[in-house]
Chain A
Amino acid sequence: MSEINLQINGRAVTAGEGSTILAAAKAAGIHIPTLCSVEGKSSEVPCELCRVEVAGLAEPVRACATPVAAGMEVDTESKELVAHRKERLAVLAETHFGDCKAPCNLTCPGQINVQGYIAHVAKGQYAEAVRLVMERNPFPFSVGRVCPRFCETRCRRLLVDDPVSINHLKRFVADWCMTNKVDLKLKADSPTGKKVAIIGGGPSGLTGAYYLARKGHDVTVFEAAPKLGGMLRYGLPRYKIPDNVLDYEISTILRLGISVRLGQRWGRDFTLESLQQQGFGAILLTVGANYDEPLNIDGGALPGVIPALKLLRQVNEGSPADYGKRAAVIGGGNTAMEAARSLLRRGAEEVTVVYPRAKTEMPANQRNIREAETEGVQFLLMASPIKVKAAEGGGLDVELIRMKLGEPDAKGIRYPEAVPGTSIHLAVDTVVVATGQSACDGTFKGGSLEEQLELTPKNNIKSNPRNFQTNLEGIYAAGDATNGPRSVIQSVVAARRAADNIHAQLLGLPKEPAESRFNFSRGKSFEQVDLANFEGIRVKLREKMPARPPERAVQDFNEVSLGFSEQMAKNEAERCLSCGCNAFDRCDLKRLAIEHGVDPNKTGMGSKPTYQRREDHPTITVDLNKCIYCRNCANSCEYRAIDLRAESFDDRGRAQNISLTFMEHCVSCGKCVDNCSTGALNKKDQIIPIVGEETRLVRTTCPYCGAGCQMNLKVKGDTIIEVTADPDLAPNYGALCVKGRFGFHFVQHPDRLTKPLIRQGGQLVECSWDEALSYTAKRFFDIKAMYGPDAIAGFSCARATNEENFLMQKFMRTAIGTNNIDHCARL
């Protein structure tokens, strides 16, 4: 075969005679977009993306169908070609129907791959589920207990029956790992030599520490309190997050190698300047919102009036203070709810929450309000305190005034107004003030840097919402300290993003581009989702969280919600409709659309299902709603076992009424899935969408027959996600059988042996390696001494590696001293 010289994009390229422009470009490392070319074959209904300009030809030609010629000058990226490709991609996208990312994933403030961890639960891969959560949230235990669950509000299962109990699943996997003492084997990158100080060891601070330590930075957390945890420990009562759970969670984070300085108060024990002098290249302020706004009314400072955070801290530290039998809690946030519920547990018989608006307008999570109410907390709504005074005969008299909503202001917001002459009195022993918290009372003290730190009008630290930098260079702030009390997950997200910025800045890296917002969707709102999507899905109500009865729960600080059992978690995980596309990381249509700046939100996408999803093949699922008729499946099938047809084509060349049939001689090898250009074909057992998580491809040799097929294990964390093969590699050149591509589940099967076993009293029982090895050596030694080395025989293993077979025979011939060594070659 003679060599042909041509030019592509001005570069001299050599190609074999008869090869196409597409193949020649690929060999030269020039990427010509195509959706329908696979292993040298292209579709009978071409995608038209690969058109290129050839000097001397009037019209662009298809690179996949045009052979190279000597002296040819090819342009693959002219403006006209790019415009043409954009148009073609938009045309193909118009009928593509599906979700790239699931709504739960898109709604989560932390952008956690929710569908992914639910799928791990369904597969019993609990540790991997936790690792997946921890890629974006190092607090699965706490968030799994207190999250407001933004994700569940968008769960499409609502259109069938109930949303999936997502958060309970997160808690389940975290708890399961704790109960089973699973080492998550979280690893940090190699050390960068950069030091980072974090002030405040609450959820934000520890999140920042976690992600910075993972990147290899030397992180020190300074915490004023005697223990880490911040609001999780001192602001949330133990019936929400038990101490042992929080301790375990924090120790998991610290295991990455994070230094901790407890009892170190900013401004007293160190200053920003002193930290900088100690060589900290960056400082992250995550001090939280610990300053209770005072009750600015008459008597607001009387004994018996206490700020909510102080109350919660006392309660959590087990202080013996007596709060009496009756209490009022002023405020409607989550802190107010926890204060009220804690008071009940500390013996108060009557706890009244006072709030100037309606219950639905309280800032507390509605679930928290309901729980407080079930436990007996009373609500005095549309009322506001105006005065507190000491009552005769002890206790406090709180004077309240009724409120009503005033006229809407310029923005249309109606503020409550006092209704004159409606005062009422509440006799209590304690008044808890939970009207709001901020980072400080107006200034931070300590030194000149502290004084220069710019604050918001609400006395929080001002930080740039894009890069979390304060007005001081190298000093960042995130979490409640910057915006007042919010949910844990919101603090986690802010601190994670702050950590990313600190990392980039410390190493002088360009900031990582924001994740593409590109997304196909079956409907952004529930109204837009066609109910035909859910045909055939049977109603299966959500699992109910087991909880202690409220009358019992209020008697102590033990946890109220008891957590899912493994079976409940599995049932619940199986309710997931898996909205997001499992081809997320391999979809060529999405990749090319993003590369070409095509936005299907503007150019159009499918809006309702045309085809029923099919599960009848043993290893493959088919969703023709995503099919763009590239025919890669049929063209890549080496068994010619796929019958793919279209009844007709519309005026823009798109296939109508597609049918895909796996013929009887299909061997279920799954190669078609690896070549599908969208998510129309998926592997039935690959239900974990890879949404930006890091995966590794490990090339290895198939462990089954003697053919020696080369394969790639796609690994996420410590789990094999799927198996693929490289079409260019001997001896199998991309072919694998059903065993090779699908038979890897034995690797991480629960039946695997995990500990040495030794027979005791007729039973095999677990023992240490030391015991097993010593005992075996001794028995071999004794038998050898008594009957000679030939009284011992060994079977080696034709399934194990060369190195191991070599050592087995070496062991038998040297340590034992016999040639009684053989293997099952003949079997």
Chain B
Amino acid sequence: MASLAITLGSGAMTNCIADTTKTDLFLMIGSNPDTSHPTIGLRIHQALDRGAKMIVIDPRKTAFAERADLWLSIQPGTDVALLNSIMQVIIKEELWDRKFVEDRTEDFDELVRVVEKYPPEEIAPICGVTPEQIRQVARLYAAPGRHATYHGMGITHYATGTDRVKSISNLALLCGKVGVEGGGCNPLRGQNNVQGACDMGALFNTLPGYGGLSNDELFDQYEKLWKVKLPRRPGKPATEVWENILKGEIRALYVFGEDPVLADTNINHVREALEEVNFLVVQDIFLTDTAKMADVVFPAACFAEKDGTFTCTERRVQRVRKAVEPPGEARPDWMIFSELAARMGYEMRYSSAEEVFEEVRQLLPQYKGISYARLEQEGLQWPVPSEDHPGTPVLHKETFTRGRGLFVPENYLAPQEPVDGEYPLLFTTIREYARYNFSSMTGKTKAIDVIAPEALAEVHPNDAQRLGIKDGVMLRLTSRRGTVDIRARISERTQEGTISAPYNFAETPVNALTLDALDRLSRTPEYKLCAIRVEVLTAH
């Protein structure tokens, strides 16, 4: 998100899900919506059924890869090189949208300067594809038509995640594919309200609505409304909290609805930090592994027990409505915050979630025209600048949020942890369709256990033969950080040389293996790639 905010001015999906009916060509890169966003995957499949074309760039042989017009099974972690090379071809063959670039973008020369170093002949071997494939992608995508890019965690879950997103944005700007129906740059947001949590300013480096910490005028507005002096020093991102705890800089941690003991990379490190921290408060619906380590646990209401709004991946703000009572003494989170603030000597009194929303729309220009009354029937896509504005299905139509689209070319950096003699295989995490995150929610439905009973590590048949791995045996995967035991499934879906496993099983915490190298802009960790070695534990 951080990248699109820089290049286009809004860190969000530029288009909407319904646009899939208008798209002529999908460029799907590092995303498998069949498992991560099933209903969006369905709409894209239906678009392909109706004749839309598709290019898939993914090491993994997803269902989309199988039916794509063109599939590049690239070497994991080499997307930036590939994208730069594609742009090199587009510029060299003069396929780019000259008018769009001239009228609506800036720093084109920068782009040319960087990408000219990426000719297909040199880049193809790095990416594990052929030069011809790179040219094919360039020609297909740059051709006239409504062409959309879709990307997911396969792009962002790298220490170079933001470089990749910028590269995708560069490509879309270069070909003039942004600001049109059926086109755009479309990141698929993982969690139900990631978009909203970002919009609301639950970020270390921005106020609500993405206002920077250096924007004094904005601070004045907030301080006037909130009647308090606000800190302007930048905060620490979540991923840096652990080392800061171990260094003694952070002494208390308030964890709301997250389970870093399971979810973060290099979880052994997280556990160590949580044992160290002086005071840990956890607010959740279950006694998670993190909550078990807490000093105080607040029982919270879940989505079905409270009112509010979520903002989904297409920027659509939609209502959440109370259907049943919370169990026991559990309370809606907004009530807990109000009460705690009052006891800290700061009044945050609200009588309903709607009242909180009224404050949000007072402060956030994107939400200004949205009210609960307007959301009664159907959600609205931000920005909604006024009460009579119908919402914005497609961003950047006339002009970019930031004015002109900015080319931010980046050079390719190799993945942080290449294979070597000791750790000769790559490891990557995937998602299980029927499960969500660490199954604290989906694990409570019996049928889901039937559909997806246990985590399986996918091993390519060639690797299996070479390493003597049979389908169904127990494997022990070891990285420099940890170990996990997991059953093997021989599958052609995973690329030769890479073992893939879902991270959705709490009892098989594959994040013990993953790398906590962070992206330098967004501070996202490199979930998607690390080096491992594998041992066969049992014969059955």
Binding site for B on A (CB under 8 A): 185, 618-619, 638-639, 667-669, 684-685, 696, 698-710, 713, 715, 718-720, 729-732, 735-740, 742-749, 751-759, 764, 769, 772-777, 779-781, 783, 787, 789-827
Contacts and interface: CB of A to CB of B under 8 A. Distances in A.
Nearest to B304: A747
B464 interface: no
Nearest to A697: B323
A736 B297 contact: no
A724 B165 CA distance: 36
B228 A814 contact: yes
A706 B237 CA distance: 22
Contacts of B191: 705-706, 798-799, 824-825
B247 to A, nearest CB: 11
B314 interface: yes
B134 interface: no
Given A742-B447, A755-B328, A757-B299, 9 more contacts: A700-B319, A708-B314, A764-B292, A792-B254, A802-B196, A803-B309, A807-B348, A808-B333, A811-B346
B218 interface: no
B261 to A, nearest CB: 12
B226 A814 contact: yes
Contacts of B286: 746, 751-753
A815 B253 contact: no
B356 A803 contact: yes
Given A739-B442, A802-B193, A789 B231 contact: yes
Q: Which of A702, A749, A804, A808 has the most CB of B within 10 A?
A: A804
Nearest to B317: A802
B271 to A, nearest CB: 15
A710 B318 contact: yes
Interface stretch (B39-47, B104-112, B124-132, B530-538): B39-47
Given A793-B250, A794-B254, A720 B324 contact: yes
B10 to A, nearest CB: 15
Given A715-B324, A794-B256, A827-B527, A805 B196 contact: yes
A756 B298 contact: yes
A814 B230 contact: yes
Contacts of B197: 796-798, 800, 802, 805, 823, 825
Given A806-B359, A826-B156, A777 B344 contact: yes
Nearest to A638: B42
B253 A795 contact: yes
B297 A708 contact: no
A728 B168 CA distance: 33
Given A739-B436, A808-B202, A813-B230, A667 B310 contact: no
Contacts of A618: 447, 450-451
9 contacts: A705-B37, A707-B38, A708-B312, A755-B299, A792-B253, A798-B190, A800-B197, A807-B338, A819-B235
A743 B252 contact: no
A287 B120 CA distance: 96
Nearest to B156: A826
Contacts of B98: none
A769 B194 CA distance: 29
B306 A801 contact: yes
Contacts of A775: 296
Given A792-B250, A804-B334, A824-B263, A667 B297 contact: no
Nearest to B278: A783
B91 interface: no
Contact of A769 (B255, B309, B331): B331
B321 A700 contact: yes
A769 B38 CA distance: 39
B401 interface: no
B325 interface: yes
Contact of B436 (A704, A804, A812, A823): A704
List the 9 shortest-distance A-B pairs measured between CB atoms, nearest first: A708-B312, A754-B328, A801-B308, A797-B257, A819-B235, A796-B202, A826-B524, A753-B299, A737-B38
Interface stretch (B72-80, B203-211, B406-414, B454-462): B203-211
Contacts of A185: 325
A793 B252 contact: yes
A797 B359 CA distance: 19
Interface in B286-333: 286-287, 291-292, 294-300, 302-306, 308-314, 316-325, 327-333
A808 B204 CA distance: 12
B66 to A, nearest CB: 12
Interface of B: 1, 16-18, 36-40, 42-43, 46, 156-157, 161, 188-205, 207-208, 213, 226, 228-239, 241, 244, 249-258, 260, 263-264, 278-279, 281, 284-287, 291-292, 294-300, 302-306, 308-314, 316-325, 327-334, 336-341, 343-346, 348, 350, 353, 356-357, 359-360, 378-379, 433-436, 440-448, 450-451, 519, 522-525, 527
Contacts of A772: 296-298
B358 to A, nearest CB: 10
Contacts of A792: 250-254
A612 to B, nearest CB: 20
A627 B467 CA distance: 52
B534 to A, nearest CB: 25
B447 A783 contact: no
Contact of B189 (A702, A706, A710): A706
A682 B479 CA distance: 46
A745 B445 contact: yes
A130 to B, nearest CB: 15
A738 B310 contact: no
B444 A826 contact: no
Contact of B194 (A751, A780, A820, A825): A825
A99 B194 CA distance: 47
Nearest to B336: A773
Nearest to A808: B256
A759 B320 contact: no
Given A718-B325, A826-B523, A737 B297 contact: no
A773 B201 contact: no
A815 B228 CA distance: 9
Nearest to A683: B447
A483 to B, nearest CB: 40
A696 B203 CA distance: 37
Contacts of A815: 340-341, 344-346, 348
B379 A730 contact: yes
B384 to A, nearest CB: 13
Nearest to B190: A706
B193 A798 contact: yes
Contact of B18 (A619, A731, A787): A731
A777 B208 CA distance: 24
Given A764-B297, A809-B201, A827-B263, A707 B312 contact: yes
Contacts of B232: 819
A733 to B, nearest CB: 8
A809 B306 CA distance: 19
A698 B323 contact: yes
Contacts of A718: 324-325
B30 to A, nearest CB: 14
Given A747-B302, A787-B251, A811 B193 contact: no
A547 to B, nearest CB: 34
A121 to B, nearest CB: 17
A781 B344 contact: yes
Contact of B192 (A639, A701, A731): A701
A804 B332 CA distance: 9
A821 B200 CA distance: 11
B300 A773 contact: no
A619 B433 CA distance: 15
Nearest to B233: A819
A705 B188 CA distance: 9
B308 A737 contact: no
Contacts of A702: 192
A821 B287 contact: no
Given A746-B445, A797-B258, A706 B296 contact: no
Contacts of A791: 249-252
